[in-house]
Chain A
Amino acid sequence: MSPSAEATVGSDGPRQKGKATPDSLKVGCIAQVVKDGQPRRAEILSIKETKSGRQFYCNFDNFNKRLDEWVPVARIDFDQDVEWPNPEKDKQKDAKAKKTAVVPKKAPSKKAQKKVAKRDRELSVASDGQTPHPWTEFTESQRNKGDDADDKVNASLEIGGGTPDMGPDEMELDEDETPAGAAKKEREERAPSFSRVEEIEKLRTSGSMTQNPAEISRIRNISKVEFGRYVLFPWYFSPYPECFNQEDTIYIDEFCLSYFGDLKSFARHRQKCTLQHPPGNEIYRDEAVSFFEIDGRRQRTWCRNLCLISKMFLDHKTLYYDVDPFLFYVMTKRDQFGNHLIGYFSKEKESTDGYNVACILTLPQYQRQGYGRLLIQFSYELSKIEGKLGSPEKPLSDLGLLSYRQYWSENIVDLLLTNSERDERVTIEYIATQLSMTTQDVEHTLQALRMQVYHKGEHKIVVPEKLIKQREKSKTKQKRLIDPDRIQWKPPVFTASNRTWGW
């Protein structure tokens, strides 16, 4: 029952296995790499030379990408067989990468659109390959400056053998849009085909999350961020200026969110910048936090900067399109220096899918302190004022799912217990309207907590004992909550011209 039993890396078919040396190991290989003291299957995504030796950028089997890291040769177990990228595949990759006429011959049945998508993916991979920026690990501080040139050469060399593991069987699957990297048959079978063109079209009209793995750049480009009082270690790729890849550290102004690759520039900027809170209207304030509402269209620079920051911590966020159709609700903490950004959620001005949250993020330095719950609660309080049922945009991240599950279960259990005390029956719809949640979310939560039962020919809700205990325990703890009476907000109304997607 171990979740890692199902291999997610390199499961696209039988692979050639064999022994490898540090020199012969190439991008696309799958090797046993030590992670947290245990050996784990890992795919090599990039290779670079550092002063301390060759390093490999590894994506660990069934681990989230935020745990990807550069590992030295010492952590790779060369006693075990290495799975090599599929050779035929590589040949085709070669051909495609060089953009020869072989492509149509190799895949004659493919529609033009698919071809484009394929080729695009190649480009993406290539560009990834060119920017394998040292994400120096947060645990071991093995910084390597000055090796960038080497890296680049190495990476571009790797492109040839580049994008690994696309089994020949995949090529028969016309609809397959799997990333060059961790393609999984099993996943493809489950996932509905979702072409890139469709994805882009969907993103153009609504939403901010991508479900297309091809959209996600696989290698982290920023290794370290100075942000206010904290140093953050980004989890994912974010499209900051390419030259920042060379920088050891980038500096972000915690108020205006401007980014600098140079400490002097940052210091100079700090002398001039007068912003001390998010550039919008405060719509909520209590002892601990404030909320600001910011229109993406009016505060384009600030909102873009915010998105760039959040992209470092949200894998499925896309910055493909501009910020105009979104409102940003930013939570801050006040002190004598200003309103410090804790987290935010964005929300479409008009969501066709009834989402009340597009992206939601608590900055890492404020995580696990109950702020995420506040953000979620605030989003539902806004939905209550609007008189709508809301749901967060999918896909959720793992952390997002846990946060939402927790919020939902707590609130539903709370509501159910008050009702059960009064001996009242409840409908799913009643729960949904009381909490401004969609009925699907209510049902999913009930099912996930095994509360929805079938007993003697009747549907019933059973509140498990452990949840009641948990509720009593959490009641004793001082919890942060949003006080709805302090919200000074009216649902903004946008004219048709404000809502147009173009500029």
Chain B
Amino acid sequence: MATRKVRYKKLNIKTPLPVLREDQIDPSEYESLTNDGQIATGVEQAEENEYHLQAVLRGAGVAADKEIPVPPPQESVLTYEELYSRPFEETHTYIRFSQTVEECIGCMYDMTEDDEVFLKSYNQKRPPASQLPDDDFEKIMEVFEDTAYIRAPFASVDQTVVPYDEMLHGLHDLDRAKIMPHAKDIYEYWKARRQAVSNKPLHPTLKFEMHQESDEMDPYVCFRRREVRQTRKTRARDVQSADKLKRLRKELEEGRQLVMAALHRENLKADMLKIDRAIFEQRAQLKAQKIRLGIKTDDDDLINAKPQKRKAPEVPAIQRPPPPSQLRAPVRPDGRSNETDLAQLTERHLEKETELRIEIEKKVRNHNDWNRNHVDLTRGPLSPVSGPRSDLSFRPATTQYLMTPPASVSSASLEEPTPMELDNTPNPGPVFKFRGVAQDAESMANPPGYRRRVGRLNRLWIDRRGLASPPRDVDGSSSDRWKYDQSSDDEEDTPVYEVDPFDTRALKFRASVPLPIWMSRPVRPIVGIPPPFPPNHPQQPHLHPQHQQMQRGRDRARGPSPGSNRTFVL
């Protein structure tokens, strides 16, 4: 091969290659790219040169008769059908299975030949009824082994033998009546067997990790646990994780600061409340003092002086975007609440109103300018709508006149205005307020008014105000009429009729009366209707006979009074 030294181009895996058969190309014109030595076989180098492998490789593809010799397997002499007696039924669908080996076996203790010998001799000594079957023997042994493993996992090292008493707990789950008579004997046997194998589990077990040092090269130690993967330590990774830790620490610190600040704020708030309270109490004292000393001032003392409005210098602070990681309203450094900076609603309204007013005035001016050379013969800015509206569903709620006041108004002087008169009034005034009653001097002071409104279900309401009610005649018969309208059960509670005490009739009457009882002895502070009858009139309606008697009784008790007049003065 050294005869032709051709430098080959490196073959790219994406280069399209023509595929030829051997007869399509002259063998003398090409050579194989590589010789065997350079081909990576993937076999461990120490074994690459093994005799049999090389023998086969050299004849690659030529002869299949060369084989690597291996120890040949043999047919077993054991009766397969005896050992594997369970028939298998093929499923129609693919098998899906997740039980573990342990779940498929059941009792994990398998009797050995030694056990068999022991059990045979053990059972020989017993009547057939109380013999221990193989299955139960295995169950007991399993309990012993399991309990020993749980209670003394390092039994083979520290030689702990789990006592029989501790085994009992595990035996409870078994069929006790059958098993308990044997348990103690089997325990002794189990113990002896464990001692014989230096207290290791009776079943041969794999060697797992016990002690790192000695395990490391022990070929029998297998299936070690993998420690959690450690990431490879590189400088970049170190820096990365350091950065992460730093950031974490910073964030935690910020969180802590936040909590501290919140605590501080709340403490300040509490202090403020306390101080406010103290101030209020001081003020209350001041007030009390003032009252005591008779100093008269207005109540401003009790109200906090309005804080001086400052032009807020921290407006830009509010507009500044909040820190990205914080979801928290910015706290003002001066501790003042934000409200002081906020515009009051009333102020806003005021502002708006003035604006509006100015606007209207401007409009009016403009309108006047516009109308300067225009003569308005209609006098009003708008001409009234004449004729029925084309809209039939129009509700004539805006009619300019009202229905006549109810006819029940008894006043003779009432003068009904006619619709025409209303229309003709030079200034109709407010739509819902007009005068429609007599214009005498009295009523002028408090002129009556009407108001029309539409209520539910399109009911039309006329509200009235200032109409003089018809005078009531207050003669006895009519006043008596109300007496029985009272629903009160209180018989004593006589009705009280309010009457003008300066009524001439009453004055005249009172003058004719000697001195009325209520003047010398004000039983009723509220002046009722003075009794229109003489005091001694037997038919006095307001005094019950009982009452009169009582008064007389009193008189008698005092004995004969010097003057009859005085009898009325009690």
Contacts A/B (CB < 8 Å), 12 sampled: A239-B221, A254-B84, A281-B96, A281-B97, A336-B88, A337-B87, A396-B42, A401-B43, A417-B19, A452-B33, A458-B18, A461-B20
State whether A211 and B219 are in contact (beta carbons under 8 Å apart), knowing that A62-B51, A420-B19 are contacts in the complex: no
In the complex, whether A105 has a CB less than 8 A from a CB of chain B is: no
Q: How far is the CB of B460 from chain A (nearest CB, A)?
A: 79
Whether a CB of chain A sits under 8 angstroms from the CB of B343 is no
* CB proximity of B440 to chain A, nearest CB, Å: 101
Shortest CB distance A249–B (Å): 10
* Proximity bits, B28-54, A CB within 8 Å = 1, else 0: 011111101011111111110111111
**Total residues of chain B contacting the partner, CB 8 A:** 107
Minimal Cβ-Cβ distance residue in A for B46: A187
Q: Are A268 and B40 in contact (CB under 8 A)?
A: no
**Is residue A498 within 8 Å, beta carbon to beta carbon, of the partner chain?**
no
> Is the Cβ of A226 less than 8 Å from the Cβ of B39?
no
Contact B206 A304 (CB under 8 A): yes
Check A231/B104 contact, CB under 8 A, given A127-B218, A282-B94, A462-B20: no
* Contacts A138-B72, A262-B113, A269-B105; A4 near B44 (Cβ below 8 A): no
Question: Is there contact, CB below 8 Å, between A394 and B49?
Answer: no
Cβ of A89 < 8 Å from any Cβ of B? no
Inter-chain CA distance A217–B82, complex, in Å, is 36
Pairwise interchain contact A127-B219, C-beta atoms closer than 8 A: yes
B513 interface residue per 8 A CB criterion: no
Expressed in whole angstroms, the minimum distance between the Cβ of B127 and any Cβ of chain A is 25
**Is B470 an interface position by the 8 A CB rule?**
no
What is the 8 Å Cβ interface bit string for chain A, positions 443-475, against chain B (1 contact, 0 not)?
110011110111111111111111110100000
What A residues does B14 contact at CB under 8 A? 427-429
Contacts of A128 in B (CB 8 A): 219
Cβ–Cβ < 8 Å partners of A336 in chain B: 87-88
Contact with A along B99-126 (1 / 0, CB 8 A): 1111011110011110110000000000
Please indicate the chain B residues that have their CB under 8 angstroms from the CB of A80 in the complex. Answer: none
Establish whether residues A239 and B68, one from each chain, have CB atoms under 8 Å apart when the complex forms: no
The CA of A462 and the CA of B42, in the complex, are separated in Å by 24
Chain A residue with Cβ nearest B208: A322
Given contacts A63-B50, A240-B206, A336-B87, 4 further A-B contacts (CB under 8 A): A226-B78, A334-B90, A455-B29, A462-B21
Q: Is the CB of A3 within 8 A of B204?
A: no
Q: Is B298 part of the contact surface with A, judged by Cβ < 8 Å?
A: no
Judge whether A229 is part of the interface by a CB distance below 8 angstroms: yes
Partner of A420, one of B20, B53, B221: B20
Question: Which residues from chain A contact B106 at a C-beta distance below 8 Å?
Answer: 272, 274
In the assembled complex, how far is the CB of residue B107 from the closest CB belonging to chain A, in whole angstroms?
6
At the interface, yes or no: A259 with Cβ under 8 Å from chain B?
yes
Q: Which of A283, A292, A305 contacts B101 (CB 8 A)?
A: A305
How far apart are the CA atoms of A65 and B60 in the complex, in Å?
A: 23
Question: B157 an interface residue at 8 Å Cβ cutoff?
Answer: no
Within 8 A of A (CB), among B172-217: 203-207, 214, 216-217
Q: Mark B58-70, 1 if CB is under 8 A from A, else 0.
A: 0011100001111
| Residue from B40, B52, B115, B219 within 8 A of A237 (CB atoms) | B219
Query: B60 near A449 (CB under 8 angstroms)?
Result: yes
Could you tell me the distance in whole angstroms from the C-beta of A252 to the nearest C-beta in chain B? 11
Contact A3 B51, beta carbon cutoff 8 Å: yes
Q: Is there contact, CB below 8 Å, between B96 and A3?
A: no
CB of B226 within 8 A of CB of A321, answer: yes
Contact A324 B226 (CB under 8 A): yes
For residue A411, CB closer than 8 A to chain B, the reply is no
Contact B224 A279 (CB under 8 A): no
- Binary per-residue interface labels of chain B (15-26) against chain A in the complex, 1 for a CB within 8 Å, 0 otherwise: 111111111010
The 7 closest A-B pairs by CB, nearest first: A501-B226, A241-B204, A425-B16, A3-B54, A319-B222, A395-B44, A282-B94
What residues of chain B lie closer than 8 Å to A388, measured between beta carbons? none
B355 at the interface (CB under 8 A from A): no
Q: Are A455 and B54 in contact (CB under 8 A)?
A: no
Q: Which bracket fits the contact residues of A?
A: 35 or more
Q: Is B504 an interface residue (CB 8 A)?
A: no
Q: A204-B226, A235-B70, A398-B53 are in contact. Are A258 and B95 (CB under 8 A)?
A: no
A466 to B216 CA separation, bound complex (whole angstroms)? 51
Flag whether B229 is at the interface (Cβ < 8 A). yes
A window 107-136: CB within 8 A of B: 120-121, 123-124, 127-128
Distance between Cα atoms of A282 and B97 in the complex (Å): 8
Asked if A239 contacts B222 (CB within 8 A), the reply is: yes
Chain A residue, CB-CB nearest to B226: A501
A264-B111 contact given A320-B224, A322-B224, A454-B8, CB 8 Å threshold: yes
Which B positions have Cβ atoms within 8 angstroms of A? Answer: 6, 8-9, 11, 13-23, 25, 29-34, 36, 38-47, 49-57, 60-62, 67-78, 80, 82-88, 90, 94-102, 104-107, 110-113, 115-116, 134, 138, 203-207, 214, 216-229
Check B101 against A64 for contact (C-beta < 8 Å).
no
Q: In the assembly, what is the distance between CA of A260 and CA of B39, in Å? A: 44
Report how far A229 CA is from B73 CA in the complex, Å: 10
User: Are A64 and B47 closer than 8 Å at their CB atoms?
Assistant: yes
Please tell me if A310 contacts chain B, counting CB pairs below 8 Å: no
With the chains together, A18 CA to B205 CA distance in Å?
Answer: 45
Least Cβ–Cβ distance between A452 and chain B, in angstroms: 5
Closest chain-B Cβ to A31's Cβ sits at a distance in Å of: 18
1/0 per position for A119-162, CB-CB distance to B under 8 A? 01101100110000000001000000000000000000000000
B149 to chain A, nearest CB (A): 15
Choice from A64, A232, A321, A404 contacting B68 with Cβ under 8 Å: A64
| Complex partner residue of B107 from A272, A417, A426, A488, CB under 8 angstroms | A272
The contact of A452 among B32, B57, B82, B228, by CB within 8 Å, is: B32
Cα–Cα distance between A417 and B76 once the two chains are bound (Å): 45
Q: Which residue of B lies closest to A313 (CB)?
A: B70
Contacts of A184 in B (CB 8 A): 46
Report whether B31 and A454 are in contact in the complex, using a CB–CB cutoff of 8 Å: yes
Contacts of A334 in B (CB 8 A): 88, 90
Given contact pairs A302-B101, A455-B25, A120 touches B17 in the complex (Cβ within 8 A): no
Given contact pairs A229-B75, A254-B84, A452-B32, A241 touches B206 in the complex (Cβ within 8 A): yes
Contact of B83 among A211, A242, A267, A272 (CB under 8 A): A267
Select one of B85, B99, B101 contacting A258, CB under 8 A: B101
CA distance A454 to B206 in the complex (A): 56
Q: Tell whether, in the assembled complex, residue B104 and residue A338 are in contact, meaning their CB atoms are under 8 Å apart.
A: no
> Which residues of A (204-238) have their CB < 8 Å from a CB of B?
204-205, 211, 213-214, 217, 226-233, 235, 237
When distances are taken between beta carbons in the complex, the residues of chain A under 8 Å from B205 are 241
B21–A470 CB distance below 8 A: no
Chain B residue, CB-CB nearest to A474: B64
Nearest CB of A to B223, in Å: 4
- Do the beta carbons of A272 and B105 come within 8 Å of each other? yes
Interchain nearest-CB distance for B14 vs A (Å): 5
Flag if B88 contacts A425 (CB, 8 Å): no
Query: B71–A66 contact, CB under 8 A?
Result: yes
Q: Contact at A262–B112, with CB atoms within 8 Å? A: yes
A67 to chain B, nearest CB (A): 7
Is A299 close to B, CB under 8 A? yes
- Interface positions of A from 269 to 290, Cβ below 8 Å from B: 269-270, 272-277, 279-285, 290
Contact with B along A183-211 (1 / 0, CB 8 A): 01001001100000000000011000001
Whether A494 sits at the interface, judged by CB under 8 Å, is no
Q: B404 CB to closest chain A CB, in angstroms?
A: 92
CB of A266 within 8 Å of the partner chain: yes
Of B36, B111, B217, chain A has the most CB atoms within 10 Å of the CB of: B217
A338 and B19 in contact, given A204-B227, A322-B225, A398-B68 (Cβ under 8 angstroms) = no
Is A416 in the interface zone, CB < 8 Å from B?
yes
Asked if A265 CB lies within 8 Å of chain B CBs, one says yes
Q: Judge if A102 is at the interface, Cβ distance under 8 Å.
A: no
| Nearest B residue to A451, CB-CB | B32
Pair B42/A279 contact, Cβ less than 8 Å: no
Q: Are the CB atoms of B11 and A428 closer together than 8 Å?
A: yes
Nearest chain B CB to A236 CB, angstrom units: 11
Q: Give Cα A165–Cα B69 distance, bound, in whole angstroms.
A: 28
A320 to B230 alpha-carbon distance, docked (Å): 18
